[in-house]
Amino acid sequence: MRIPDLIQKKRDGGQHTEAELRTLILDYVNGQVPDYQVAAWLMAVFFKGMTAEETTYLTLAMAESGDMLDLSSLSHTVDKHSTGGVGDKTSLVLTPMLAALGLTVAKMSGRGLAHTGGTIDKLESIPGWSPVLADEPFLKQAREIGLALVGQSKNLAPADGLLYALRDVTATVDCLPLIASSIMSKKLAAGAKTIVLDVKVGSGAFMKTLEDGRKLAEAMVNIGKLSGRNVRAVLTDMETPLGFMTGNTLEVLEAISTLKGEGPEDLRELCLALAKETLLAEGFSEEEADRRPREVLKDGSALAKLRAFVASQGGDPRYIDDPSLFHVAPETVEVKAGQSGFIAHIEALKIGQALLVLGGGRETKGEAIDHSVGIELLHKIGDAVEAGQPIARIYHNQKGKDAAFTLVQEALRIDAAKPAEMPLILGHIS
Ligand code: URA
């Protein structure tokens, strides 16, 4: 099989076989196919697309290019993936809920990059908590508590790392089959039988329109079906940040209060929707999938799972019992309403960028971050505000405070008319 023939086949609109895609990907990872040939092939894919079968074969080849986690000793393994957003602390609430529902979450999570946050950074706000666990303790904890969460220590889907870097410099990132295979290859390699995807749509997300979000969700659900996993997706709004808090420690605080049955309505709604989708995928009835997630929030069992999980990974559980122990940046500055009216828009991207300039996020991999800084929104879209009233609070340690102030000010728009209500959940794909 000659690589120029494969490039030509795709260039001319042909369809690859499983063997062709496997050869291309595995030989590329082994260093036998140079970047320039793969770059030409990526551009051909960009213009000619891929069928559902091709996308699945590509995904499987990428998943199998490195370690495949073996979770077969665990029962009811479930995983959740968000395509990334601002203030998205859903995993911190949802994963203990799923454990309390009797499912097993043995999950690898990422760190934040650019304006989107990462679960590992958020959890590292809890003193002592470590994202590092060897294989045996990882499986044991997942079996006993139902929840173990580690950083990306394994060599999962190395083909994706190589392809992503090449896509980045060849203008082939925004190509649906390539995005779908990139996300799903890592999820398949991570081993869970059931995968629930939160596909974010809007200015703070990777997919800017509902139509694009739906196509991506359909492609990923399809890959899951064709590769023998239970995959469902929920399309959710990411025009505005989720909840009130953005920033690592602040988000942990908001997650704890949501697990106590308090917390912001939108975060609670999303966690209930994702838990329901997971239970439906696991074969529960519609009635149970609706009822049981509410129960584990109400009876404290989800919060108890978070406490046990934190303690088991070295974290100090007193912080879960008494969140006032958390260190939040002591200096604050408030953004005030420039006019009376209604909060009409809160631009997620700008809030994410404000966190970045405060030092709470990273521009490049490996940078240290300040967990204590962040932005607290004091209002949601549709709230009436008076001129001069505080509408957001910035917690800072001096770094970037002026730039963050400008960004938060720009992110918040006030109109004279009350805006139409926007739903959070935009669709379901199964
Ligand atoms: N996230 C990924 O993991 N891969 C992409 O290609 C896009 C978003």
Q: Is 304 exposed, middle or buried (0-12, 13-18, 19+ CB in 10 A)?
A: middle
User: What CA–CA distances, in Å, run from 281 to 10, 79, 193, 270, 284?
Assistant: 35, 11, 10, 17, 7
Q: Rounded to the nearest whole angstrom, what is the distance from the C-alpha of residue 216 to the centroid of ligand 1? A: 11
Q: Rounded to the nearest whole angstrom, what is the distance from the C-alpha of residue 210 to the centroid of ligand 1? A: 17
- Assembly ipTM: 0.96
Residue 168 has a pLDDT of 87
Indicate which residue of 10, 115, 167, 307 is catalytic.
167
Dist. CA 192–CA 186, nearest whole Å: 11
Residue 11 has a pLDDT of 98
User: Helix 90-100 and helix 286-298: axis angle, to 10°?
Assistant: 110
Domains of the chain: 3-49 (1.20.970.10), 78-321 (3.40.1030.10), 328-415 (3.90.1170.30)
386 contacts 309 by C-beta, under 8 angstroms: no
Question: Residue 364: how many CB atoms within 10 A of its CB?
Answer: 7
User: What CA–CA distances, in Å, run from 351 to 12, 75, 124, 359, 405?
Assistant: 44, 39, 21, 13, 10
Segments in the chain below pLDDT 70: none
Indicate the residue type of 13: G
Residue 415 has a pLDDT of 97
Residues whose beta carbon lies within 6 Å of some atom of ligand 1: 164, 179, 182-183, 206
Q: Rounded to the nearest whole angstrom, what is the distance from the C-alpha of residue 193 to the centroid of ligand 1? A: 21
Residue 364 has a pLDDT of 78
Q: What is the pTM of this model?
A: 0.94
167 in catalytic set? yes
DSSP lists the bridge partners of residue 78 as: 194
Indicate which residue of 121, 160, 198, 370 is catalytic.
160
Residue nearest atom 5 of ligand 1, based on CA coordinates? 179
